[in-house]
Amino acid sequence: MQREQTFVMIKPDGVQRGLVGDIISRFESKGIKIVAMKLVAVERQLAEKHYGVHKGKPFFEPTVKYITSSPVVAMVLEGVNVIEMVRGMTGATDPQKAAMGTIRGDYGQFIGRNIIHASDGKETAAFEINLWFTSKEIAQYSRIDEVWLQE
């Protein structure tokens, strides 16, 4: 298992509903390192690029509108096997199907308001990190608890 980075976005509903602190807290408590983070009022062009793979699908336009409707919190998280781990913590895309204990399972009800986005694989993570952040915005540091996290 490799050390890797993933892109996470707390969507407008997560920010508006005051869930930012709780969501970040879950990642911190798990020992996942935040290496970049910012609040972004997303422009249409960025939203269209981010959801480019879904262009032409019926939910593309509503999703672009949703993501540009109010600020999001964008971040880069780092850790061993972090892409899969964060997808697990996020839960199924549809909050109705997401397991309790996951972010979407605990806080969401509808697929069009599913609180959070997380990269679904290595290539997507690289694309999304590069789309949302410059290399200067990504920090390199050690967390003081790292020695207690691993065997």
Query: Angle 59-21-86 (CA atoms, 0-180°, nearest 5)?
Result: 55
Residue 29 to residue 21: CA distance in whole angstroms = 12
Q: How many CB atoms lie within 10 A of CB 24?
A: 18
**With binding defined as CB under 6 A, does residue 104 bind ligand CMP?**
no
**With binding defined as CB under 6 A, does residue 114 bind ligand CMP?**
yes
**With binding defined as CB under 6 A, does residue 68 bind ligand CMP?**
no
> Cβ distance 33 to 78 under 8 Å?
yes
**With binding defined as CB under 6 A, does residue 96 bind ligand CMP?**
no
> Cβ distance 117 to 77 under 8 Å?
no
When binding is defined by CB under 6 A, the residue of 52, 88, 112, 121 that contacts ligand CMP is: 112
CB of 116 to ligand CMP, least distance (A): 8
Residue 143 to residue 104: CA distance in whole angstroms = 27
Size of the site for ligand CMP (CB under 6 A): 8
**With binding defined as CB under 6 A, does residue 92 bind ligand CMP?**
no
Q: Is 77 exposed, middle or buried (0-12, 13-18, 19+ CB in 10 A)?
A: buried
Q: Is 117 among the residues known to form the active site? A: yes
- Which residues fall within 8 angstroms of residue 47, CB to CB, at 6 or more apart? 63, 64, 67, 68
When binding is defined by CB under 6 A, the residue of 16, 25, 70, 93 that contacts ligand CMP is: 93
Annotated catalytic residue within 77, 117, 118, 132: 117
When binding is defined by CB under 6 A, the residue of 63, 68, 102, 119 that contacts ligand CMP is: 63
When binding is defined by CB under 6 A, the residue of 46, 117, 125, 129 that contacts ligand CMP is: 117
- Contact residues for ligand CMP, defined by CB under 6 A: 54, 59, 63, 93, 111-112, 114, 117
Active site residues: 117
